[in-house]
Amino acid sequence: MLDSNRLRRLEQMPLWDFALSFYSAPDVEGACLTLQDTLGIDVCELLFHGWLFVHGLEALSVPLAKQRKEREIWQREVTQVLRHLRRHLKPEAQQSASIDTLRKTIQQAELQAERENLQRWQTWAIENPDDEVRLTNCALISNDVERWLQDRLFFAELDKSCLHASGAREDISSAWQTLASRLDRFESPR
């Protein structure tokens, strides 16, 4: 049975506010980018699961899978296109003020695309027009946060092809540990 108090507290802390606060914690940005660039993890979804976790909630796998597909389309067709353009222009931006301005504009658009994606995750979690049960109480022991995060994102078994690169396994493990420890310490209403 879903705890209505947890859901109410979830509504009082917008996902965007959580994302800004959590992402700015020491080493979180680097950990998120490592997982994004090495494993293809959607940082917005990662932040979504962290937001639910600090409120003692988690998404149920079947409705989550449907929403994940919608969010993947957004990420692929909007956010990743902007990210690719921003990264592609980085060398030129160092040589040209006008390209640097363009790159900064693209960076702002990328941030807005991520904000929109997080808003859609939040709306999905809070609004339930079809009376579909989407969330449940999370009965997680804190020392299992790292494994829980990996399982939420279906990465319990890491892709072996990405781990052959020198140091990749350690970088990925360190990133998961960093995120888990920061979530454990996050000021939560649990």
Residue 98 forms part of a structural domain: yes
pLDDT tens-digit series, residues 139-158: 665 567 777 777 766 554 44
If one counts every other C-beta atom within 10 angstroms of the C-beta of residue 3, the result is: 15
Q: Which two tokens stand for residue 87?
A: 């990264």
Amino acid at position 52, single letter: L
Query: Residue 58: enclosing H or E segment and its boundaries?
Result: strand 57-59
Residue 190 forms part of a structural domain: no
Residue 35 forms part of a structural domain: yes
How many domains, the chain? Answer: 1
Determine the pLDDT at residue 74: 96
Q: Quick one: average pLDDT of 70-99?
A: 96
Residue recorded with tokens 């493990």: 173
Determine the pLDDT at residue 169: 78
pLDDT tens-digit series, residues 6-56: 888 888 999 999 999 999 999 999 999 999 888 888 999 999 999 999 888
Residue 119 forms part of a structural domain: yes
Residue 168 forms part of a structural domain: yes
Of 58, 50, 59, 60, the residue nearest 188 (C-alpha): 50
pTM of this prediction?
Answer: 0.84
Residue 103's contacts (CB-CB under 8 Å, 6 or more residues apart) are 86, 89, 90, 92, 93
Please state the length of the chain: 190
Residue 87 forms part of a structural domain: yes
pLDDT tens-digit series, residues 101-114: 999 999 999 999 99
pLDDT tens-digit series, residues 165-176: 556 778 888 898
- Does the structure show a pLDDT above 80 at 163? no
Domain residue limits at 100: 4-185
Determine the pLDDT at residue 119: 97
Determine the pLDDT at residue 118: 97
Residue with the bigger pLDDT between 186 and 153: it is 186
- Mean per-residue pLDDT of the chain: 85
